[in-house]
């Protein structure tokens, strides 16, 4: 049953791992830090580099900020480390900061060849061990307290959001259902639902979200029948369970499985996830 997905899995395995073209020039803005000391992930027993985006003027104020946790950190800020071009997270958020929406972003580098294994709790045997539960527990129990102790963060769940694409989209979905007390919203871009088969569907159905949780689900129409089909099925499933009022679901007919697509929708998703209007001011009732 998984054979039709093999071509897509090849993309998922490569996305965020080794670049398929000549190296590109660094493009991260000055307010992105690549931490010299990597952080250890219990259960996976490996360390990961963190990439931290701080709002412009962070050092000139005593303000506290919401935090966005993102997977595949190599692809977020810098063309030089990305697989197929960066998301432009830093440039987009610098623009939103001018409008009044300021965030801290914590980008977690992926594990290279282990990327697929560590970003899902469920994996067919032929693909090896699923390490997603250990990764999720690390983000919740180790990484968030570590970040909160070192940066001026707003620590409550309404100011803590998780976002990712592909396998990172699947993990972002899992994290908000696994730890709703920690994460108040999730950006779920091009989620690789198919690789978890029905397990994530059953898991989500068994665990209602808090009423004020928010999900932004994005898929491209050019990402393949399996990807689109599972995305539509999950959207229907969550809507029928009563989460329709908590979700923004977008199927972009021209969207492809790449960073350019995710970059194009990033700012719109951020504004919705943090309940901001297009001019950066809080929406009514927030």
pLDDT at 265 over 80: yes
The pLDDT tens digits of the residues spanning 102-132 come to: 999 999 999 999 999 999 999 998 899 999 9
* H helix runs in the chain, sequence order: 6-14, 89-99, 115-118, 132-137, 144-150, 167-178, 199-205, 225-238, 259-273
The confidence band for 286, taking pLDDT boundaries of 50, 70 and 90, is very low
Looking at the chain, the whole-number percentage of residues with pLDDT higher than 70 is 88
Mean pLDDT of the chain: 89
pLDDT at 15 over 70: no
pLDDT at 82 over 90: no
Q: Are 257 and 15 in contact (CB under 8 A)?
A: yes
Residues contacting residue 6 through CB under 8 Å, at least 6 positions apart: none
Domain ranges of the chain: 29-273
Topology, domain 29-273: Rossmann fold (3.40.50)
The confidence band for 28, taking pLDDT boundaries of 50, 70 and 90, is confident
pLDDT (0 to 100) of residue 208: 86
The confidence band for 44, taking pLDDT boundaries of 50, 70 and 90, is very high
pLDDT at 17 over 80: no
The confidence band for 22, taking pLDDT boundaries of 50, 70 and 90, is low
The stretch 227-247 carries a mean pLDDT of: 94
Predicted model pTM: 0.90
230/1: higher pLDDT: 230
Helix (H, G, I), strand (E, B) or coil at 125: helix
pLDDT (0 to 100) of residue 21: 54
Residues contacting residue 23 through CB under 8 Å, at least 6 positions apart: 80
pLDDT (0 to 100) of residue 281: 44
């Amino acid at each position: 049953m998984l054979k039709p997905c093999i071509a897509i899995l090849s993309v998922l395995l490569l996305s965020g791992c080794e670049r398929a073209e000549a190296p590109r020039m660094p493009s991260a803005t000055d307010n992105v830090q690549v931490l010299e000391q990597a952080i250890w992930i219990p259960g996976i027993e490996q360390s990961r580099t963190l990439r931290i985006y701080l709002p412009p003027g962070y050092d000139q104020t005593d303000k506290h900020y919401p935090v966005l946790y993102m997977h595949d950190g190599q692809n977020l800020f810098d063309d030089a480390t990305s697989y197929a071009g960066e998301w432009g997270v830093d440039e987009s958020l610098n623009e939103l900061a001018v409008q009044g929406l300021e965030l801290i972003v914590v980008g977690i580098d992926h594990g290279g060849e282990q990327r697929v294994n560590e970003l899902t709790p469920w994996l067919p045997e032929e693909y090896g061990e699923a390490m997603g539960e250990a990764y999720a527990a690390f983000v919740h129990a180790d990484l968030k307290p570590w970040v909160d102790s070192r940066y001026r963060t707003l620590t409550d769940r309404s100011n803590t959001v998780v976002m990712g694409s592909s396998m990172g989209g699947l993990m972002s979905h899992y994290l908000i259902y696994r730890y709703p007390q920690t994460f108040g919203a999730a950006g779920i871009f091009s989620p690789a639902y198919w690789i978890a088969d029905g397990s994530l569907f059953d898991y989500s159905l068994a665990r209602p979200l808090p009423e004020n949780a928010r999900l932004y689900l994005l898929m491209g129409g050019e990402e393949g029948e399996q990807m689109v089909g599972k995305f539509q099925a999950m959207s229907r499933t969550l809507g029928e369970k009563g989460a329709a009022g908590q979700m923004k679901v977008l199927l972009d007919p021209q969207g492809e499985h790449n960073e350019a697509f995710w970059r194009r929708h990033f700012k719109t998703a951020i504004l919705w996830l943090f309940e901001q209007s297009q001019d950066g001011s809080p929406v009514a009732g927030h």
